[in-house]
Amino acid sequence: MTAVETGEAEPGGRRAPAWRGGFGRLWSAAVLSSFGDALRGAALPLLASSLTDRPLLIASVTACGYLPWIVFGLLGGAVADRVDQRRAMGAVDAVRGMLVAAFAVAVALGHASIALLITLAFTLTTLQTLFDNASTALLPALVDRPALGSANARLMTGQKIAGGLMGAPVVPVLIAVGAAVPFAADAITFLVAAALVASLRTGAPERTARRAGSTLRREIAAGLRILGRDRALRGLCAATALCNVGMGALIATLVVLVTGWLDAGTAGYAAVTTAYTAGGLTGGVLNRWVAAALGPLRTVLLAGTVQTGALMVMGTVRSLAAAVAALAVFGCMGMLWNVNTTTLMQQRAPADMLGRVSSAFRTLAVAGAPLGALLGGAVATAWGPGTPALLTAAFFVLSVTSLIPARKPDVPVVARADDVTTAHGPR
């Protein structure tokens, strides 16, 4: 596919994507969907905690939300490279909208259960494996390559605004109206986002012809080989995998830490999630200057180091104010990590294999998260709800350490179709 928006100049010579046309619609769909996701994401653990007071069961809901990446992630990337990404994303959002609408009806009728929450989390993430890989592959068709960093920052910043500042804080209000209301609103956002994505006009995807006898298995293997040969992406993948073990533990037990250990209730939970979002917005604004000064890989290294300190504060200082401050810093550095990781992937992977490289990265990176979620529940049960944050900090230390060798990548740039080296040079 070819870029349809040329972009605009930013200070310092960097390129910014044009809002009109395809990128504007994709941004609108992503932001609207993130608003709904925030409603569901904040409501699910609160609903789970109302159904049981066992941390391990609450953590199981989060764990099952990660498992599909392990089971179907690689397949989702291979399919994303074969199909029209725009149509695939629209169809997936339409199906997810109908599923969440059905779940909202079940909650309204009093049929909610931990088993139903686990089923919903697993099914939605299964569909997300195709959607996310298709989205990553579609963006370079809408903006020029020099504008990818700015495009990713604007997408992620918009999602943070809608998902955190606008979405999560209103969940307690919506739940007060009815437990099913956040899920009904999420269903509507999925359906509207599906219509926006379906309206994109990107043209037919440009792909090299598949070789005779090519199978999904071989195409998946080709994506894994490209990821394995690129030192920068390989290092980022290993570092992200270690982070996600810890993140699984932290996310799965955060509601227990805030409402239990800090005794801050649902209002406190909304406060910490809002602080995390505000930090992410700050990171989105700072990214272009930090990345220009340090480069993408060193920016990720800095982000992981600062996040480790924030986690130590979160797990040792029994104060809501400290938790709010720590999560704000954590969110700021997390945005820097995510923007630069995604941009590097889009810049370094062959265009017609981006879905497979993206899926290989995501699948390997997220593989430890379900284990981390269960581990966090077990640690919180055994030693208290503050300990999962310290466990997460330990994994972040390992992550930063594993990323150090990739600071100066001497990395081959692979060709579009045959996986062979075409050029070398630092990035």
pLDDT at 262: 85
Could you say which architecture CATH assigns to the domain 20-202+217-406? Answer: Up-down Bundle (1.20)
How many other CB atoms are there within 10 angstroms of residue 422's CB atom?
11
Per-residue confidence at 323, pLDDT binned at 50, 70, 90? very high
Q: Mean pLDDT of all residues in the chain?
A: 79
Per-residue confidence at 20, pLDDT binned at 50, 70, 90? low
User: Which is higher by pLDDT, 14 or 134?
Assistant: 134
Residues 261-307 pLDDT 10s: 888 887 888 888 888 888 988 998 898 889 888 888 888 999 999 99
pLDDT at 17: 61
Q: What is the mean pLDDT of residues 35-53?
A: 80
Of 3-12, 108-117, 255-264, 347-356, the range with the lowest mean pLDDT is 3-12
* Res. 189: pLDDT tops 80: yes
pLDDT at 11: 41
pLDDT at 7: 44
Domain map of the chain by residue range? 20-202+217-406
User: Which is higher by pLDDT, 142 or 395?
Assistant: 395
Per-residue confidence at 410, pLDDT binned at 50, 70, 90? very low
Q: What is the mean pLDDT of residues 45-68?
A: 76
pLDDT at 21: 57
Give CA angle at 80 (420, 118), nearest 5°. Answer: 125
